[in-house]
A and B are shown apart, each in its own frame.
Chain A
Amino acid sequence: QQQVKQSPQSLIVQKGGIPIINCAYENTAFDYFPWYQQFPGKGPALLIAIRPDVSEKKEGRFTISFNKSAKQFSLHIMDSQPGDSATYFCAALVRGNEKLTFGTGTRLTIIP
């Protein structure tokens, strides 16, 4: 059962552009939504996370937009760089449960 749907599957953006990755969830009990970045052959690393009581969170060049009523959230990467080329996963969690439910991943390529 896919509880977190992620799109697009792959994305190519020119340097300086703003890639946007979207996720939608079904389980209204989810109350913590992290984004992870994974480089080939490496484990995922937490980029930024948001709780449903806020609609937006910024950390450096990364911004999460959250729409609770639509059960959707998205990652925006400002001023994207070739070094941002990686696979990005959204995830969701019910606090107290600890189990992360991952999206299917988006392979992002930033071209110079």
Chain B
Amino acid sequence: GAVVSQHPSWVICKSGTSVKIECRSLDFQATTMFWYRQFPKQSLMLMATSNEGSKATYEQGVEKDKFLINHASLTLSTLTVTSAHPEDSSFYICSASALGLAGVGRANEQFFGPGTRLTVL
């Protein structure tokens, strides 16, 4: 149980276009979803936290108008990279947590998706 999927797994786009990445919790309802960015050989950097039906909370330095997050349901969150540029090329990873959901992991446990490799040409 506690599987998180991401789609697409990789995407190549031209500079100036927008790209949408989906994150789904497949077998549980996620209280909160998180979006991370990871550059090669670096750690995960939290971009934003989102709760279903409310606006995402962005980390300092992350442009909310560039990285649009929509969390329309308890099983789906989307990240849209608007007007992407080569410097946005990175590995984007989502995670989901389900506080208080008995039998699914432990309190505070985040279940990570497989990641999406974005390359902007």
* Residues of A near any B CB (own CB < 8 A): 32, 34, 36, 41-46, 49, 89, 93, 95, 98-100, 102-105, 107
Contact = CB atoms under 8 A, between A and B. Distances in A.
14 contacts: A41-B91, A42-B115, A43-B95, A43-B114, A44-B112, A46-B111, A89-B43, A98-B32, A98-B97, A99-B34, A100-B34, A105-B41, A105-B42, A107-B41
Interface stretch (B13-21, B62-70, B74-82, B101-109): B101-109
Interface string B80-107: 0000000000010101010100000111
B112 A103 contact: no
Interface residues of B, number: 27
B46 A99 contact: yes
Contact of B44 (A49, A102, A107): A102
B7 interface: no
A102 B43 contact: yes
B41 to A, nearest CB: 8
A15 to B, nearest CB: 24
Contacts of B25: none
Interface of B: 4, 6, 32, 34, 41-44, 46, 49, 91, 93, 95, 97, 99, 105-115, 117
B11 to A, nearest CB: 14
B108 A98 contact: yes
A46 B43 CA distance: 15
For the complex of A and B, the 6 pairs showing the least CB-CB separation, nearest first, are A43-B112, A102-B43, A43-B115, A43-B114, A43-B93, A44-B112
A43 B46 contact: no
A104 B108 contact: no
Given A44-B93, A103-B43, A95 B108 contact: yes
A42 B114 contact: yes
